[in-house]
């Protein structure tokens, strides 16, 4: 889970990247190797300006859940326990290594919370993807 910082003045991109070696002056999701849920309520992959509407907007508050299912090649997100469904389905998401990634502008921040149980809404999606 990622908890938004209440002082954020810009939107954040959260997701995964196939590499950790790229120019940090651009967001990981601007490249073909990055997939993100953007704070404007959009998905981003291979673009810094265009993406499909997805979920809800977030900036200064909220808890974002991120679930990568490498067996199915899917990436899903949730906001405050509301599951938005599969955001991305891509065979590239089945091949490692894959890194967690966050793109921040100045005056942005968040807190990463790890070691928690996987929320039930993500478990239900995993079962649907893998036990058909």
pLDDT band at 129 (very low <50, low <70, confident <90, very high): low
Is residue 131 scored above 80 in pLDDT? no
Q: Using omega within 30 degrees of 0 as the cis cutoff, is the peptide bond preceding 111 cis?
A: no
What are the contacts of 35-43 at 24+ separation with CB within 8 A?
35/75, 35/87, 35/88, 35/90, 35/93, 36/101, 36/103, 37/13, 37/64, 37/66, 37/77, 37/87, 38/11, 38/12, 38/13, 39/10, 39/11, 39/12, 39/13, 40/11, 43/87, 43/88
State residue 127's pLDDT score: 63
Q: In the beta sheet, which residues pair with residue 88?
A: 75
State residue 132's pLDDT score: 47
pLDDT tens profile 115-124: 888 888 887 7
Share of the chain above pLDDT 90, in %: 60
Judged by phi (left if over 0) then psi (alpha if -120 to 50, else beta), residue 122 lies in alpha
State residue 16's pLDDT score: 97
Residue 47 CA to residue 111 CA, distance in Å, equals: 25
Residues 6+ positions from 86 with CB-CB distance below 8 Å:
74, 75, 76, 125
pLDDT tens profile 46-105: 999 899 999 999 888 899 999 999 999 999 999 999 999 999 999 999 999 999 999 987
């Amino acid at each position: 889970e990622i908890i938004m910082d209440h002082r954020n003045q810009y939107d954040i991109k959260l997701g995964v990247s196939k590499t950790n070696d790229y120019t940090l002056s651009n967001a990981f999701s601007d490249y073909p190797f990055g997939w993100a849920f953007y704070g404007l309520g959009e998905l981003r992959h291979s673009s810094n300006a265009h993406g499909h509407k997805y979920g809800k907007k977030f900036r200064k508050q909220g808890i974002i859940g991120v679930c990568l299912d490498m067996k199915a090649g899917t990436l899903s997100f949730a906001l405050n326990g509301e599951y938005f469904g599969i955001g991305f389905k891509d065979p590239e998401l089945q091949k490692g290594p894959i890194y967690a990634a966050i793109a921040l502008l100045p005056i942005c921040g968040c807190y990463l919370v790890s070691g928690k149980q996987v929320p039930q809404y993500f478990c239900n999606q995993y079962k649907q993807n893998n036990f058909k």
